[in-house]
Amino acid sequence: MKKIHLFILALGATCVLSLTAHAEELTVGFVNFKTCIEKSKQGQQDRENFESIKNQMGEALEKTDKELADIGAKLEDQDFMDGLSPTAEEELKNKFQSMNQELMRYQNQYYQVLNQANMKMLQSLHDFVGNAAENVREANHLSLVLNEDSTFAYSKSLDFTDEVIAAMNKQFEIENSEEIASGDENR
């Protein structure tokens, strides 16, 4: 039993010492993902597209909400309701109920579409940042590049956010010039 404990202790010490020796060879860089999204051309374009979707759907919701509020005001106006026939009153109540259900459907659809668009945007940007970080890692001979959120503190000399943004913008320009060129060829 003592031999097993000594063996495990020796094995653990060997692992720790080898990791310590290997850690001295590691060169690490950090990237602020949020800053990459905010300052890169791709991030700005994706956010503009997201806001456009959000505004379009928001306008449709506001229109339905306004119509519902108008019908609700009529239903609460006793003088207006007294002037209606029982069938017209019933039709107005049914219309209010169906519009209320339609508004709830729109709201659910609105949140689902926004959530899907946001997830798609973040995944796309994550991949874009990852590719740019890989290029920066290779160019600067780094062992690895980590997201700043994965650490509590680091030296600012290890921050490669600006380099990653520059690489992202360069890739964005290349992709957009290719799209423009292929668009010109299709004309």
CA 59 to chain centre: 22
pLDDT tens digit sequence for 40-61: 999 999 999 999 989 998 998 8
In the predicted model, what is the mean pLDDT of residues 79-95? 89
The CA distance from 157 to 138, in Å, is 17
Average pLDDT, the chain: 86
User: What integer pLDDT is reported at residue 138 of this predicted model?
Assistant: 95
pLDDT on residue 14? 63
Helix spans in 30-85 (H):
33-39, 41-76, 78-82
Among the listed ranges 79-83, 90-94, 111-115, 171-175, which one has the minimum average pLDDT value?
Answer: 79-83
The interaxial angle of helices 161-185 and 86-139, nearest 10 deg, is 110
For residue 28, the cross-strand partners are: 144
Q: At 9, is the pLDDT very low, low, confident or very high (cuts 50, 70, 90)?
A: low
Identify which of 48, 43, 30, 28 has the alpha carbon closest to the alpha carbon of residue 168: 43
Q: What type of residue sits at position 158?
A: L
Judge if pTM exceeds 0.85. no
Asked whether residue 11 carries a pLDDT value surpassing 80, the answer given is no
Q: Is 90 exceeded by the pLDDT of residue 22?
A: no
Query: What is the mean predicted confidence (pLDDT) over 63-86?
Result: 89
Residue 80 pLDDT grade (very low, low, confident, very high; cuts 50, 70, 90): confident
Greatest mean pLDDT range, 2-11, 17-26, 52-61: 52-61
Residue 23 banded pLDDT, cuts 50, 70, 90: low
pLDDT digits (tens, 9 = 90+) for 131-149: 999 999 999 999 999 999 9
